[in-house]
């Protein structure tokens, strides 16, 4: 058998269920990898080795019991995962990536750990995030930055950057992330992973406090479409809306009706619209890097070779979008409970957007949310001319660590004096780096990042670059099918 970390998530699931591997074997193996790799990767903020080993022992006892009585095991029995450090896990500190908060253990699990622990997973710890999940890079003042496993000088993206780095470096087989403006798809693209943002309302979990526009949804980060589908099956209840094929007329879904089963089937022939248009262009004019255009061309060639029809899609976006999105996106930070004497510990970007959010009226926030709902209707109407919309996943290659903030470092995390960048310049860089992400959250649509290209020309050589496919509501299964059809 291959090394445990080299198994796909589906293969590891099968080995754990059959008893070929014990949960304790798998847990200890991944903990050893974290111990060896995390010091130079920065993927984990907290490792909960002792609790993980206890949970693995309990999982092995359950396996022995079910072997005797013939009972069913949970679907992700013994599977190691990690949760990004915006998510409460009982008994573990949630830092939210902020030095301005008092770091106390959470009293209870959040919705995402509740769902996945019920499915049988074993949590190995908490992964690196930007402060309050606000940015497209995972760097903060509480722990070393999360680095890209393909080039340690580069960022793993954000805000699910630590989770993406952990999956790409094979420290966990897959991981849940949360996406409010690209926070699953951006790090997936940066780290060469499949990253799926489900449609609004499909997954009943995610960090949604202070989210007036309902932007945030949880979704899987994985090394393949099948592995992402396996995790999505555990996240989505069979009674969820838009879970086509999983539940019908109140009857239980058949065993072969999950997302994993869908990835084994060929999708129908699709009409795919190709677009470089972005709602950020009016405020932040940008030109995609050659590597982003190469990835797009590679994606088009793969899709056409698979039998799909592609054509140019000219999408018109309202130029009021940037201000409205920024108002809604940063509304929650204005009401975060931070004592006045600790506000100086916030990063420059967080501190700036917190001050602006506190100066806005509730009426202004409501006006922005109302505009975004109209933007959603107008954009979805345009997208409906095609089955899927295709864009590059990112406009630039994965950025160097410290590039957004102007920060310097000496190998560890950065104290306040070394965060030299301007908040507005930081934000502009992020919007130019990932200009095709946030409008998908505003529209509430599913989207997937697929790693179709490498700057070195050979998979694993150079830096990964991806494409993004955006589908209509309920198309999560179709997006996963297409990713699997393309060989991912």
Helix (H) or strand (E) holding 310: strand 309-312
pTM (two decimals): 0.95
Q: Is-catalytic flag, 138?
A: no
- Catalytic residue, chosen from 22, 84, 138, 438, is 84
Mean pLDDT of the chain: 93
Q: For the chain, which domains are there?
A: 4-485 (3.90.1300.10)
Note whether 238 and 253 are within 8 A (CB).
yes
pLDDT tens per residue across span 433-472 = 999 999 999 999 999 999 999 998 888 889 999 999 999 9
- Catalytic residue, chosen from 123, 163, 183, 368, is 183
pLDDT tens per residue across span 230-258 = 999 999 976 554 444 443 322 334 445 69
b/e 78-113 (16+ beta carbons within 10 angstroms → b): bbbbbbbbbbbbeebbbbbbbbbbeeeebeebbbbb
Which H, E and C letters describe 270-292, residue by residue?
CEEEECCCCCCCCCCCCCCCHHH
User: DSSP H helical segments within 360-408, as ranges?
Assistant: 362-383
pLDDT tens per residue across span 172-227 = 999 999 999 999 999 999 999 999 999 999 997 655 558 999 999 999 999 999 99
Q: Is-catalytic flag, 84?
A: yes
- Catalytic residue, chosen from 159, 243, 437, 449, is 159
User: DSSP H helical segments within 236-330, as ranges?
Assistant: 259-262, 290-305, 321-329
Residue 245 pLDDT: 40
Gyration radius (Cα) of the chain, Å: 21
Judge whether residue 313 has pLDDT over 60. yes
Listed residue (143, 149, 431) closest to 279, CA to CA: 431
Note whether 133 and 180 are within 8 A (CB).
yes
Alpha carbons 183 and 167: distance in angstroms, whole number = 15
The secondary structure of residue 132, as a DSSP letter, is G
């Amino acid at each position: 058998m291959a090394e445990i970390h080299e198994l796909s998530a589906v293969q590891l699931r099968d080995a754990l269920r059959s008893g070929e591997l014990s949960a304790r074997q798998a847990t200890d193996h991944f903990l050893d990898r974290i111990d060896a790799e995390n010091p130079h990767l920065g993927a984990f903020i907290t490792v909960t080795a002792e609790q993980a080993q206890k949970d693995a022992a309990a999982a092995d006892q359950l396996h022995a019991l079910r072997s005797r009585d013939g009972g069913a095991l949970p679907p992700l029995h013994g599977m190691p995962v990690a949760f990004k450090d915006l998510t409460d896990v009982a008994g573990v500190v949630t830092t939210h990536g902020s030095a301005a908060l008092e770091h106390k253990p959470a009293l209870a699990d959040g919705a995402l750990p509740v769902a996945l622990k019920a499915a049988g997973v074993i949590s190995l710890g908490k992964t690196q995030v930007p402060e309050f999940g606000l940015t497209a890079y995972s760097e903060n003042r509480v722990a070393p930055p999360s680095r890209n496993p393909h080039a340690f000088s580069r960022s793993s993206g954000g805000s699910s950057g630590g989770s993406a780095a952990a999956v790409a470096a094979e420290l966990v087989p897959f991981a849940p992330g949360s996406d409010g403006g690209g926070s699953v798809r951006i790090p997936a693209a940066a780290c060469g992973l499949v990253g799926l943002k489900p449609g609004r309302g499909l997954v009943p979990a995610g960090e949604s406090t202070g989210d007036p526009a309902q932007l945030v949804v949880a979704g899987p980060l994985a090394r393949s479409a099948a592995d992402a589908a396996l995790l999505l099956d555990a996240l989505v209840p069979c009674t969820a809306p838009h879970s086509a094929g999983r539940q019908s007329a109140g009857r239980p879904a058949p065993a072969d009706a999950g997302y994993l089963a869908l990835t084994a089937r060929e999708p129908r022939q699709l009409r795919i619209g190709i677009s470089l248009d972005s709602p950020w262009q009016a405020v932040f004019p940008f030109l995609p890097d050659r590597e982003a255009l190469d990835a797009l061309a590679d994606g088009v060639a793969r899709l056409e070779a698979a039998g799909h029809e592609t054509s140019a899609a000219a999408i018109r976006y309202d130029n009021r979008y940037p201000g409205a999105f920024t108002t809604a996106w940063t509304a929650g930070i204005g009401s975060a409970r931070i004592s006045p004497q600790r506000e100086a510990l916030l990063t420059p970007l967080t501190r700036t957007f917190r001050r602006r959010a506190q100066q806005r009226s509730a009426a202004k926030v409501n006006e922005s949310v109302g505009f975004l709902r109209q933007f959603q209707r107008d954009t979805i109407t345009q997208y409906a001319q095609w089955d899927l919309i295709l864009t590059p996943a990112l406009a630039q290659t994965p950025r160097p660590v410290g590039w957004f903030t102007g920060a310097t470092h000496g190998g560890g995390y950065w104290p306040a004096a070394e965060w030299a960048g301007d908040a507005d310049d930081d934000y502009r860089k992020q919007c130019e780096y990932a200009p095709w992400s946030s409008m998908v959250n505003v529209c509430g649509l599913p989207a997937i990042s697929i790693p179709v290209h490498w700057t070195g020309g050979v998979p694993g050589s150079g830096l990964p670059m991806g494409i993004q496919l955006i589908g209509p509501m309920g198309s999560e299964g179709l997006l996963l099918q297409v990713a699997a059809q393309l060989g991912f």
